[in-house]
Amino acid sequence: MQIPYEVTARPDTGLYNAKVGIWLFLASEVMLFGGLFSSYVFLRLGADFPWPFHELIVWPGFVNTMVLIASSVSVVAAWASLKARRYGWYQFNMIFTIACAAVFMCLKAYEYYGKFTHYSLKFTDGSVISGHPLHDPKDAPGTTHGDHIVFGEVKSIVFDLEKSNLDFLDGRRVKKDGAPYAMPGEDDELKFKTPTGADVTLTKSWLKEKHRAFMDARADLRDEVTALELKKPSPPHPTRDDAATKAEKDDKIAAISAGIERANAAFLEEGKQKDLTATLKLDVVGDPLVFLVKENTTMRYGAAELSYRENTVLQGKLITDAIQFNVDLIDLRQAKDHDKSLVWKHLPELKQKFTSYRDAQLKEFSEKRPKVKEPEKDEDAQRDAYRVVFDDNKEKFLSHDEAHEYLHDTKRTISVPRAEKRFYSNFSPSLSPYYAIYFLMTGLHGLHVVGGAIVLSWFLFTGRKMYLSNPEHLANRVEVGGLFWHFVDLVWIFLFPLYYLM
C-alpha cells in the first residue's frame, strides 16, 4: 500500500506526514522528560540528606556533550548533503553521527562501571565513608573476602526439601596453596551422611530427586487425608440428633481423625526411613566446610547458624561478618559528633588531620563569605569542610601517594563490623534518590541514543536504493531521524549541568 504524502507536503498541513508524526512524538517525549525533570526538582528540594553537588566526574560528561553536539551538526549536515544530492557526504556524516553515538555510549558505560564498583558505607552514627570492599589482592589471592560474611567450620547443612537449592554452593571456599578462601576445583565432590546413615554426594540432580520424591509423598498424603476428611459425617447437632446418633457420629469422626493422624505419622515415619523429611540434615563427611556469603542472600545469622533466604541452614561457626574496606572519602556531614565518629575507630591516624583540615576550611569559608554568620550550619561550608576526598587534585588532605595507599593497599584496609553499619551499597540506584533519578534519566537518555543510532544506521545501510529511485524520500526520512537525534541532544544539554555541575 502506498502511504500518501511521504515526499510531498499534504495540502492542509503543509508538511509531509512523517514530519507531523515525528513532531507529535517529540511533543510526547517533551512531556515524558518534563515529568522526570519535575521529579528531579522534587527530590532535590525535599532531600533529607546532603544532595551530591559537584560529586560526579565532569570530564566524561563534558566530552559526551561535545560528542552529541558534533553528532547534531553531522546529522543535519547529512540531511543537507542529501538535499544537495551529495551521497558520499551523506554517508560520511551519517557514519560520523553513528560513531559519535558509539563513543557516547562507551563513555556512559565507563561512568556506570565506575559507579557500580564504588561503594559507600554509612555508620550507625551517620558518618559516611566511600571506597571499595577489598577483593583478592594480586600478591595474596584468597586471603581476603571483601564484603562477604565468612561462615566456617560447617559440619551440617539443613535443607528444606521444598525450597532449598544449591546456589549457596557458589560461595564455598577451600584452602589451597596457602590461600584460605580459594575456589574449589570443578571435580571437588561434597560427601555427606544422611540421618539414616546413607552416604551421599551432593549434586543438583540428587537434590532434585529428593525434592520430587518428597513432594510426591506429600501429595499422596494430602490425597489420602482429603479422602478421609470427605468420609467424615457432619458434626452431631445439639437438638436434632438423638443421643444414639450423636454417639455414632462422634465415634465415626474420632475413628477418621485417628486415621488421619495415623496417615500423618506414617508419612513422617516413612520420610525418616527414606530421608524424605521436610527439613533434611546432612552431616559433612571429612573436613568442615567454609562459605563466603553475601548478606543479601541471608535471612538471619548468628554465632552458630546461618539461614539463607531459600531456607537452607548452615550449622557451624561465624568466622567474621566485618566488611573489609579501603577508603577514599570521609563525609561527616550527617555525623552528630565529629570527634566521636565511628570512622576514627578504624582510621584513628586521620582524626587530627581531619580536625585541622575542617577548621582550616571553615576559616577559609568565613573569610570568603563573611556574611555567613554560622559557617558550621551552611550547606556549602559543610561540604567543603566536613567531607574530605582523599585523592583531591590539590592534595589538600592527603598526598596523591597516601590517597593511593588508602584505596589500594591491604595495609590500609579497615574492618567494619556489620553491627556498626547502617547502610552499605555501591553507587547504584539503591544508594540514594539522587542516584535513582540519575540512573533513571541518564539510562532513559542512553536508550534514546541507542534507538536513534539504530534508526540512523538503518537509513545509512539501506538507503542507497531509495536514494537512486527517490532521493527526496530518503532526505525526508533522514530529516525525521535527525529531528529525533536533536531532541536527544536537547535532553542532554539539560542533563549535563543538572547532574554534573549543579
Does 3 sit near another protein (CB under 8 A)? Answer: no
Cell numbers for 433: 534518590
Q: Phi then psi for 48, rounded to 5 degrees?
A: -100, 25
At CA 169, angle to CA 164 and CA 175, rounded to 5?
150
Q: Are 396 and 67 in contact (CB under 8 A)?
A: no
Query: For residues 214 and 207, what is the distance between their CA atoms, to the nearest angstrom?
Result: 10
Q: Which of these, 140, 423, 418, lies nearest to 306 by C-alpha position?
A: 418
The correct pick among 2, 3, 54, 139 for binding another protein (CB under 8 A) is 54
Does 384 sit near another protein (CB under 8 A)? Answer: no
The residue (of 58 and 106) whose beta carbon lies closer to another protein is 58
The correct pick among 4, 57, 58, 227 for binding another protein (CB under 8 A) is 58
Query: For residues 379 and 427, what is the distance between their CA atoms, to the nearest angstrom?
Result: 22
Q: Considering only 73-81, 97-105, 119-127, 417-425, which stretch makes contact with another protein by CB under 8 A?
A: 73-81
Does 494 sit near another protein (CB under 8 A)? Answer: yes
Query: For residues 198 and 436, what is the distance between their CA atoms, to the nearest angstrom?
Result: 52
Q: Considering only 297-305, 395-403, 434-442, 460-468, which stretch makes contact with another protein by CB under 8 A?
A: 460-468
How many residues of this chain bind another protein (CB under 8 A)?
70
Q: Considering only 3-11, 135-143, 240-248, 272-280, which stretch makes contact with another protein by CB under 8 A?
A: 3-11
Longest dimension (CA), the chain: 107
As a residue count, the chain comes to: 502
Query: For residues 323 and 421, what is the distance between their CA atoms, to the nearest angstrom?
Result: 9
Cell numbers for 14: 503543509
The secondary element (H helix, E strand) that includes residue 465 is helix 433-469
Does 363 sit near another protein (CB under 8 A)? Answer: no
Does 464 sit near another protein (CB under 8 A)? Answer: yes
Query: For residues 249 and 290, what is the distance between their CA atoms, to the nearest angstrom?
Result: 58
DSSP 148: P
Does 73 sit near another protein (CB under 8 A)? Answer: yes
Q: Phi then psi for 191, rounded to 5 degrees?
A: -105, 135
The correct pick among 252, 368, 396, 400 for binding another protein (CB under 8 A) is 368
**Which residue(s) pair with 148 in the sheet?**
none
Does 471 sit near another protein (CB under 8 A)? Answer: yes
Does 410 sit near another protein (CB under 8 A)? Answer: no
What part of residues 26-45 is at the interface with another protein (CB under 8 A)?
26-28, 30-31, 34-35, 37-39, 41-42, 45
The correct pick among 4, 9, 102, 410 for binding another protein (CB under 8 A) is 9
Closest approach of another protein to the CB of residue 65, in Å: 5
Which residues here bind another protein, judged by CB under 8 A?
7-9, 13-16, 19-20, 23-24, 26-28, 30-31, 34-35, 37-39, 41-42, 45-46, 53-54, 58, 62, 65-66, 69-70, 72-73, 76-77, 79-81, 83-89, 368-369, 371, 380, 464, 467-472, 482-483, 486-487, 489-490, 493-494, 496-497, 501-502
